[in-house]
Structure 1
Amino acid sequence: MKKKIIALLGMTVMSCALVTGCGGSKTPAAESEAATEAPAEEQEGTDALTEEQTSDEADAQEETEEKTAAAVLEDGTYTAEFDTDSSMFHVNEACEGKGTLTVKDGIMTIHVSMPSKNIVNLYPGLAEDAQKEGAELLQPTTDTVTYSDGMTEEVNGFDVPVPALDEEFDLALIGTKGTWYDHKVSVSNPEKIEEQ
């Protein structure tokens, strides 16, 4: 009887050894733990990626706010470049492509002198709208420009509202021939004029 019990115990021990293996492989419980750990590590990587994206978005927003703040000039008078989409419509050569930008209460207006008196009106918008009843046209001033050789000339000048710096906006013009034309213009590189 003792021999049968010992033999039975031996077989039980062997069965257990076969089920658990030689320690080289994981038990189902260990495999389950490993499966749980792997997604956790992947989750940590995803969390780090999400934090990076959030950080990048915050940096981009901060950069946009800085650009916006830089685009808002303090009240004062500046020289600024006035660029157009046409060689036929430009600032007088005596002004070297620049006008006088005035900022008051955050509202910007640039005064530009034309090459002659051939442009009789400007309109901040499209030519189509300039021709509508009630459209407020920009009226010319008479400017005197002095060229590099000392010669002076009277030309038309205009005070043009500037909605934003470094961005194109619509500006229509009408000449002495009575036809409206659409143009794109932009104002950039303001430099403060120091008061004397």
Structure 2
Amino acid sequence: MKKKLLVLVLSAVMAVGMMSGCGAKSDTSDTKAKTAESSSAKEEETEEQTECELEDGTYTAEFKTDSGMFHVNEANDGKGTLTVKDGKMTIHVSLVSKNIVNLFEGTSEDAQKDGAELLEPTTDTVTYSDGATEEVYGFDIPVPELDKEFDVALLGKKGVWYDHKVSVTNPVKVEE
């Protein structure tokens, strides 16, 4: 009975979270009509897109990619740890190996420009269902918006950049 109630409550929380979403745009049509305020309204709208309506805290969330080679380690069931702090979201994902040496939030073209801030790996230890452990690389990836694809470029051991689309969905608050 307690499990059913917990599942029901978590489902309701997820449904409310999905309805409110992160990065929802506000209606700025009145502001856009005024020429003098048009550019500031666009800046505010862009800021709102990167703000998140989830409360600060830690969540588990699904991390989906467009690639069979770039994905979350099977030990983590396709999920990462989403951290929300001051309205900004970052997801930590443990990958399947140490073959991806850097990530970049954006395209491979932008990643190769001077001053591009590359995401450095962490060394994570994953534990598989059979009890075996392995060290793999993990990354803290900024999340601009939930439930929407965004660009992530990766650099492999061979020094070649690859473009990918990723998304973060279904955040579930981790109980403290």
TM-score normalised over the length of structure 1: 0.64
1:151 matched to 2:132: yes
Give every structure 1 segment of 4 or more consecutive aligned residues whose post-TM-superposition deviation is greater than 4 Å: none
Quote the Cα distance in structure 1 between the aligned partners of 2:153 and 2:147: 19
Unaligned ranges ≥5, structure 2: 1-18, 26-51
Q: Is the 8 A contact 2:106 2:152 kept in 1?
A: yes
Q: Is the 8 A contact 2:20 2:53 kept in 1?
A: no
Q: Which residue identity does 1:170 align to in structure 2?
A: D
The residue number in structure 2 matching 1:94 is: 75
Q: Which has the larger radius of gyration?
A: 1
Could you say what secondary structure the match of 1:144 adopts? strand
- Residue deviations 1:66-110 (CA, integer Å, cap 9, x gap): 4439x6200000000000001111000000000000000000000
Q: Give the count of matched residue pairs.
A: 130
Higher helix share: 1
Could you say what secondary structure the match of 2:109 adopts? helix
Q: What is the aligned counterpart of 2:154 among 173, 177, 183?
A: 173
Q: Which residue identity does 1:115 align to in structure 2?
A: V
Quote the Cα distance in structure 1 between the aligned partners of 2:61 and 2:126: 17
The residue number in structure 2 matching 1:35 is: none
Higher strand share: 2
Q: Which residue identity does 1:163 align to in structure 2?
A: P
Q: Which residue identity does 1:98 align to in structure 2?
A: K
Could you say what secondary structure the match of 2:114 adopts? coil
Q: Is the 8 A contact 2:62 2:168 kept in 1?
A: yes
The residue number in structure 2 matching 1:185 is: 166
Quote the Cα distance in structure 1 between the aligned partners of 2:20 and 2:132: 44
Quote the Cα distance in structure 2 between the aligned partners of 1:155 and 1:186: 21
* Change in 2 beyond 3 A, CA 1:66/1:73: closer
Quote the Cα distance in structure 1 between the aligned partners of 2:20 and 2:71: 31
The residue number in structure 1 matching 2:48 is: none
TM-score normalised over the length of structure 2: 0.72
- Percent identity of paired positions between Structure 1 and Structure 2: 75
Higher RCO (CA-CA < 8 Å; seq separation 6+): 2
1:115 matched to 2:96: yes
Residue 171 of structure 1: how far off its partner (Å) = 0.2
Q: What is the aligned counterpart of 1:162 among 123, 127, 143?
A: 143
The residue number in structure 1 matching 2:86 is: 105
The residue number in structure 2 matching 1:134 is: 115
Q: Which residue identity does 1:185 align to in structure 2?
A: V
Quote the Cα distance in structure 2 between the aligned partners of 1:173 and 1:66: 31
Unaligned ranges ≥5, structure 1: 1-64
Quote the Cα distance in structure 1 between the aligned partners of 2:103 and 2:80: 15
